[in-house]
Chains A and B, each alone.
Chain A
Amino acid sequence: MVFGRKKVGRSTVNSDMEEKQKRYEALVQALHKDIYRYAYWLVRNKQVAEDIVQETFLRAWRSLDSLKDESSAKAWLITILRRENARRFERKQFDLVDIEDHNVADTTSMTTEQTIEQQWLYKQIDKLENEYKEPLLLQVVGGFSGDEIADLLSLNKNTVMTRLFRARNQLREALENESQRGAQHG
């Protein structure tokens, strides 16, 4: 009798574990790319970005039960990742830049001119202040709305929209200056 009960308990534990495992794997498959790209732009280094993403997902696994609603998973992971990143800064100040050796996605189908333009855009994005860059990343990479970004960054929505405006405005101005310079040289 005692053994019989024990066995039932054990198999419930196993199937709960399997369920959790499946949930975690689905989360990884669906979101690891966005999360990595977000981390990459925050820290501008492939290895550090991957380390942070590893930490983020490990923490996510350990507290997966606290994620009640799958639709908020991305925001939840971003919150963990931002905390991880902040922790890294407390430990040590990094200043690693390997932005130039990073291959852009799908370069094979691009002309050289497009690649050069994109590399240039990389540097401009990289030059943005964090307070402008982060809302932009959340919007473009994360696909979050103004309200959601406001929640994630603990800002009000107007501030977020202003920063998004300024981020793009800066990039556009840089682009215009560049093409003017190009015209003068050309």
Chain B
Amino acid sequence: MDELEFRRQLLANPRERESEFMAAANENSSNRKLFDEMQSFESKLESALKVDVPEGMAERLILRQSFDTGRSQYKRKARLHLALAASVAFALGLSFNSGLLSKFQQPDIGSVALAHVYEEMPYTSQANEHPNLAMVNAKLARYGASFDSMPGQVKYVNHCSYHGGPALHMVIDGKMGDINVFVVPDGRGLKPSQSFGDKRMHGLVQTLQNASMVIVGDRMETLEPTLQSLSKNFVQSI
């Protein structure tokens, strides 16, 4: 490789390490010098090009996409609901007396909680709104209940749609990530369950006066103490 070709290749790609090229780099002192010079030049170039990336950008990219998902799911759901309503009406008309209705299975309270946690994870995992006791209790008032004191480090509290009716959804800090807490009023027709889980998360249900408290956390999280202190702290006035 002549010097001109060596120089051409070196400047086109200083990080080239192909054997013929490296032989040329070591052939004489002037090539060697130019090679070393270009290595340090390249390091400067690399670090200059490596500008700071705005903080939280990955999270913003994921959040924006989750809104996009929410929108398209909503459209799909609306169509699905319409189709479902039609087929329910049809099934009702056909089989009101045939006992088919008894086979219609309601989901259990735990699997609804799990599905809800997954669905809202993109929103709730970003939230840290530091609500105070008054804000938590203001949301709870609707369910005729309140907390005596702040139930742990609360990050998020709101109403949510829980199998077609309102429930309280609260996110608190656990040892292994977020713990989702639901207060679900009775009369939702859900099958009871005491504990539930999948590969990633598990949960427990505590039956209260006119409601159930459902908590969901990471598989590795010990939920019993949290559930105990939550329900001890919980006052139902209705």
B88 to chain A, nearest CB (A): 9
User: A46–B54 contact, CB under 8 A?
Assistant: yes
B36 to chain A, nearest CB (A): 14
Q: Which residues of B contact A6 (CB under 8 A)?
A: 84
User: A36–B53 contact, CB under 8 A?
Assistant: yes
Within 8 A of A (CB), among B1-56: 8-9, 11-14, 38, 41-42, 44-54
B175 to chain A, nearest CB (A): 23
Q: Which residues of A contact B38 (CB under 8 A)?
A: 168
User: A172–B65 contact, CB under 8 A?
Assistant: no
Q: Is B58 an interface residue (CB 8 A)?
A: yes
Q: Is B104 an interface residue (CB 8 A)?
A: yes
Q: Which residues of A contact B65 (CB under 8 A)?
A: 24, 57-58, 61
Nearest A residue to B121 via CB reads A21
Q: Is B153 an interface residue (CB 8 A)?
A: no
Tally of chain B residues near chain A (CB < 8 A): 37
Nearest B residue to A118 via CB reads B48
Q: Which residues of A contact B61 (CB under 8 A)?
A: 28, 32, 53-54, 57
Q: Which residues of B contact A141 (CB under 8 A)?
A: 49-50
A21 to B64 CA separation, bound complex (whole angstroms): 12
A140 to B13 CA separation, bound complex (whole angstroms): 9
A41 to B52 CA separation, bound complex (whole angstroms): 12
Q: Which residues of B contact A175 (CB under 8 A)?
A: 41
User: A37–B48 contact, CB under 8 A?
Assistant: no
Question: Could you tell me the dominant secondary structure of chain A's interface residues?
Answer: helix
Looking at the complex, which one of B9, B49, B91 makes contact with A2 (CB distance below 8 Å)? B91
Q: Which residues of B contact A130 (CB under 8 A)?
A: none
B59 to chain A, nearest CB (A): 9
A6 to B13 CA separation, bound complex (whole angstroms): 57
Nearest B residue to A107 via CB reads B52
Nearest A residue to B105 via CB reads A3
Tally of chain A residues near chain B (CB < 8 A): 49
Q: Is B68 an interface residue (CB 8 A)?
A: yes
User: A117–B49 contact, CB under 8 A?
Assistant: no
User: B52–A121 contact, CB under 8 A?
Assistant: no
User: B57–A32 contact, CB under 8 A?
Assistant: yes
User: B68–A62 contact, CB under 8 A?
Assistant: yes
Looking at the complex, which one of B51, B58, B84, B91 makes contact with A32 (CB distance below 8 Å)? B58
Given the known interface contacts A28-B61, A61-B65, the answer about A105 and B84 at a Cβ–Cβ threshold of 8 Å is no
User: A102–B51 contact, CB under 8 A?
Assistant: yes
B54 to chain A, nearest CB (A): 6
Q: Is A75 an interface residue (CB 8 A)?
A: no
User: B45–A121 contact, CB under 8 A?
Assistant: yes
Looking at the complex, which one of A18, A32, A117, A162 makes contact with B44 (CB distance below 8 Å)? A117
User: A54–B64 contact, CB under 8 A?
Assistant: yes
Given contacts A33-B53, A118-B44, 5 further A-B contacts (CB under 8 A): A14-B118, A37-B51, A50-B57, A54-B64, A165-B11
Cross-chain pairs A/B with CB under 8 angstroms, 29 sampled? A24-B62, A25-B62, A32-B58, A36-B53, A36-B57, A37-B49, A37-B51, A41-B51, A102-B51, A103-B51, A104-B47, A104-B48, A104-B51, A104-B52, A105-B47, A105-B50, A106-B47, A118-B47, A125-B45, A140-B45, A140-B46, A161-B9, A162-B12, A164-B13, A165-B12, A168-B45, A171-B45, A172-B11, A175-B41
